[in-house]
Amino acid sequence: MKRNWQILGRLVVVSTVLVFVLSGCYCFKETAVKETPPPAQEKAAEAKAPAPAPAKKADDEAAKAKAKALYEKQVAEAKTFAERPIHFDFDRYDLKPQARAALDELGAWLLKNKNFDVLVEGHCDERGTAEYNLALGERRATATRDYLVKLGVDADRLSTVSYGEENPVDPRSNEEAWAKNRRAELNVFPTSWYK
């Protein structure tokens, strides 16, 4: 189980990634290139192998550009999962068929993109009490995590946090808002950002 500072780190990181990616600012470029190599190594090596010595500097540039392009593609894909939280029924934490389908997609992606981790945030609608809902949100996050583990994703790459009823996406008090608020958010982000 990962500890608090990691989760906090992840939260800061997720928002930072989104801000940078969305704004098209490349301030993060240096860090990204430096820290991606481990997972991207195979591809970098493939790219390197056929073209050996002569223009070493040019090759490095090409490899860097390729790694960067791959990384940006990964970040963009990761963002699409964060934009699609999975939803639950009132006072329930079992995964509905649509939720399973979404998690199947995420699981497959995670198995391919091993340099990305997930922080699952469990949330509830406002009905009921804060304490019960904090536990319910934890159940939702845990059920989501457990499903991904069953798909073969390494449990070390998955962490959970519950916010109960405290962070609604829609603050209104009606069925439509409640349905949106009963959710698990899938924050997918590069492992490097908190390690």
Partner 1 sequence: MCFGRVHDNATRRFVRAGILVTVVLGLLVFWDSPAWSKVYIDIDAPAFQRFPIAVQDFKVLEENGDLKEEGEWFADEMGRMLNITGFFRVIERSAFLEDVAAAGITAPEIRFGDWLSIGVDFLVKGGLEIEDGRLAVEFRLFDVVRGALITGKRYWGRPEDKKTMVVKFAEEVMLALTGERGVFNTQIVFVGKKGKESELVTVDFDGSGWTRLTDYGALTLFPRWSPDGKMIAFLSYMRGNPDAYILDLASGERAVFSEYAGLNMPSSWSPDGTEMLCVFSKDGYDDIYAVNVATKETRRITRSPSIDVSPCWSPDASEIVFVSNRSGAPHLFIMSADGGNVRRITFEGSYNTSPRWSPTGDAIVFERSVDGRFQLFTIKPDGSDVKQLTFQNGDCLSPSWSPDGRYIAFSLRRSNSEKICIINANGLNFRTIEDIGGFDSVKQPSWSPALKLY
CB closer to partner 1 out of 9 and 37: 9
Residue 164, phi-psi category: left (phi > 0), alpha (psi -120 to 50), beta (remainder): left
CB closer to partner 1 out of 109 and 132: 132
**Least CB distance to partner 1 at residue 15 (A):** 12
Give the separation between CA 41 and CA 59, rounded to whole angstroms.
15
Single out the residue of 66, 114, 127, 180 in contact with partner 1 (rule: CB under 8 A): 127
Give the separation between CA 81 and CA 76, rounded to whole angstroms.
9
The CA-based angle 62-68-70, given to 5 degrees, is: 105
Give the separation between CA 38 and CA 23, rounded to whole angstroms.
27
Residue 15 lies near partner 1 (rule: CB under 8 A): no
DSSP 13-73: HHHHHHHHHHHT--TTHHHHHHHSHHHHHHHHHHHHTTS-SSSHHHHHHHHHHHHHHHHHH
Residue 16 lies near partner 1 (rule: CB under 8 A): no
Contact flags string 22-61 toward partner 1, x per CB under 8 A: ----------------------------------------
Single out the residue of 47, 135, 149, 151 in contact with partner 1 (rule: CB under 8 A): 135
Paired with 159 in beta bridges are 119
Residue 18 lies near partner 1 (rule: CB under 8 A): no
Using DSSP bridges, classify how beta strands 158-164 and 86-87 pair: parallel, antiparallel or unpaired: unpaired
Give the separation between CA 15 and CA 25, rounded to whole angstroms.
14
Residue 131 lies near partner 1 (rule: CB under 8 A): yes
Piece of 15-23, 31-39, 58-66, 134-142 that binds partner 1 (CB under 8 A): 134-142
Single out the residue of 73, 89, 167, 169 in contact with partner 1 (rule: CB under 8 A): 167
Piece of 68-76, 100-108, 122-130, 181-189 that binds partner 1 (CB under 8 A): 122-130
Tell me which residues touch partner 1 (CB under 8 A). Answer: 1-11, 91, 126-132, 134-136, 138-139, 142, 160-163, 166-167, 171-173
